[in-house]
Chains A and B, each alone.
Chain A
């Protein structure tokens, strides 16, 4: 691992810093990510953001002043060597920049696209403190990772000599994949078990193609395969194979990254009408089962007046998908105001550009249907913001007597997910919180059962890709240490 100040003192970095005044660097305006025309893109599944050109990337890289104490890094859950990779971009060493990313991140092309940068690394960039736009770290990260992938020269990280110790991973989402990547680098014999028929977790079945193309994920997965990770799809740990079976087969450590795949509903009248479904069902049909493709056997409703309930990334993905499937009115219905929306700012911005209708401070209280049981209307309660709650967000309260009836033919419920109960239910002795998440030691990610570690959404509830990855990495490091202590492996 590089020593930050040592790297920063290398002649090329010093020279580069001196080649341009800080003031000049700070004066360059932040790059604007080129994107597809909103009218065009709302009719297809093409990736919305086009990526930076090398010229734009180099220019944006110049904005980074290569801080002696890069505060940006404190905002990144996996501690990407941010100034280092940015300066490598500035001198045109794009492949080297990608290598720097890979030292700490298993999925840079993914994080560059989906991280809520405005709340993480970019929020901590020095530019923000001087009232300027932060360096576009996410865009640059995506640029370097894409450059490497498109060049076809993907560097396969070095793998230690096999030590023959079998390790099982439950779930192939970002937590499981990053754990697997690190463990295989340490020399373990790693097998990932996945319940679905595809590898990738939410990256495949949840986040749509127009935001995160499947090719991008597949390259990363193949990379792991090349490093020696084995994948077993259609295998549910706790059903197809039990923890006891895994132990009996000689697995010495298990990492649970089973995600938060249980959809929440609102429990209001009419919620089981035909045409009302969870965002998990909707996105799974479209993304995993390719239901919008006429060749596919799986059907999906293509509503004309679609309401999506919620204000998170999942809600934005659902509503923009509905638009792409031909909705004439695609609406977001959210009970707080836009300011409180948990979705990434970029998603809200893109949704608006595409013509999504935002109905904020509205909460559905009942769904109405026709004789066939199909949803036709939705009654919403108007809300206003009250006092801030424990989380500091102003909580919505009902405006008495103010309701509205809205015509809909499809409703997608996107009000959150709970931990997937399959594993917790099937492993005796695993300590759980009242929300059903698995309790781990925060430092080591180890559970009460020493051989079982866990991370990602199954520990945090619905969180983010990068936090899940960070957990996977942390768990790999501590499981490695634990196994070394136990058996003297090195």
Chain B
């Protein structure tokens, strides 16, 4: 079950895994995610289904190795199996021909943006992708995004690659240049917050795909809760996509910070393991 059929490195920290999961391949739609667990002591982490092949019975995950669990997954090789894989979860992305769509992504949001860009394009939209990172080395999936989008704008904070500036500078340039019908943003919460503030100013409908902490992914625990339009929502069942202008990003940022100390400890454990070989 859940055997890895193929693996490709997009960079040292980003891999594409094609995994056997025939039922999920059949049931999934763009925007759905899965929860995976690697090893008997593993954590349950959410990952967007980047693509699926119903005939082969496989799904594709694009994993950015940021912490212990994503690194354990990224280090699996062809022939290995993922201990547990469940899905598809969440609500599917609402896809239609909106017209012109700006997709603003960065950091942890780049991988999950990939299938959305693909689906929007397929529905006939003009897709302008703004891909951002702190510095050149952290730009990932550039080739894939370029080939799927009508236009790709690369932004780096330090100007070491593409245009110098934040993701919002890239988005604003487009907003000033042409009529945009929708903005989709995925990335660190702080980034989504500023994209949302910007598009609100310009009155552009905006969807944010929220990457909160999750445990079960089925609505059972409430770990993923966020406040949207003054109401508490569970990202795993009510989302992950919400009207960005209604999301309380400050609260989300605060909640994401909750396990920072644990994450640091875990990474130290992992780097020790690495050294021991």
Q: Which residues of A contact B (CB under 8 A)?
A: 195-197, 233-236, 239-242, 261-263, 265, 267, 271-275, 277-278, 280-281, 284-285, 289-290, 293, 295-299, 372-374, 420-422
Contact = CB atoms under 8 A, between A and B. Distances in A.
B173 interface: no
A21 B85 CA distance: 62
Contacts of A271: 232
A235 B86 contact: yes
Given A285-B215, A293-B41, A235 B23 contact: yes
Contacts of B89: 236, 239
Contacts of B150: none
B150 to A, nearest CB: 33
Contacts of B223: 277, 281
B68 A240 contact: no
B258 A275 contact: yes
B227 A236 contact: no
A373 B215 contact: no
A467 B20 CA distance: 39
A363 to B, nearest CB: 19
B128 interface: no
A298 B87 CA distance: 20
Interface string B37-52: 1010111100000000
A296 B24 contact: no
A410 B262 CA distance: 16
A278 B216 contact: no
Interface residues of B, number: 41
Contacts, number: 114
Taking each of B86, B218, B222, B225, which has the highest tally of chain A beta carbons within 10 Å of its own beta carbon? B222
Taking each of B43, B263, B266, which has the highest tally of chain A beta carbons within 10 Å of its own beta carbon? B43
B257 A274 contact: yes
Contacts of B23: 235, 240-241
B15 to A, nearest CB: 19
Contacts of A277: 221-223
A-B complex: 9 closest residue pairs judged by Cβ atoms: A373-B254, A299-B262, A281-B221, A297-B43, A234-B86, A274-B258, A197-B84, A261-B220, A278-B222
Nearest to A290: B41
A239 B43 CA distance: 21
A172 B210 CA distance: 30
Contacts of B164: none
Interface string B245-270: 00000010011011100110010000
A239 B254 contact: no
Contacts of B39: 297
Nearest to A198: B84
Q: Is the interface of A mostly helix, strand, loop or mixed?
A: loop
A267 B72 CA distance: 37
B262 A280 contact: no
B215 A284 contact: yes
A490 to B, nearest CB: 34
Interface of B: 23-24, 27, 37, 39, 41-44, 68-69, 72, 83-89, 215-216, 218-223, 225-227, 232, 237, 251, 254-255, 257-259, 262-263, 266
B4 to A, nearest CB: 16
Nearest to A425: B237
Contact of B87 (A196, A239, A263, A297): A239
Nearest to B256: A274
Contacts of B84: 197, 233-234
B43 A289 contact: yes
Given A261-B219, A263-B220, A277-B223, 14 more contacts: A197-B86, A240-B23, A261-B218, A263-B222, A272-B227, A278-B222, A284-B221, A285-B215, A289-B44, A293-B41, A298-B43, A373-B251, A421-B237, A422-B219
A289 B27 contact: no
A233 B83 CA distance: 11
Contacts of A196: 86, 216
B262 to A, nearest CB: 4
A275 B258 CA distance: 8
Nearest to A418: B219
Contacts of B257: 274, 372-373
10 contacts: A239-B88, A261-B219, A263-B222, A265-B232, A271-B232, A277-B223, A280-B222, A297-B41, A299-B259, A373-B257
B255 A297 contact: no
Nearest to B225: A272
A38 B269 CA distance: 34
A371 to B, nearest CB: 9
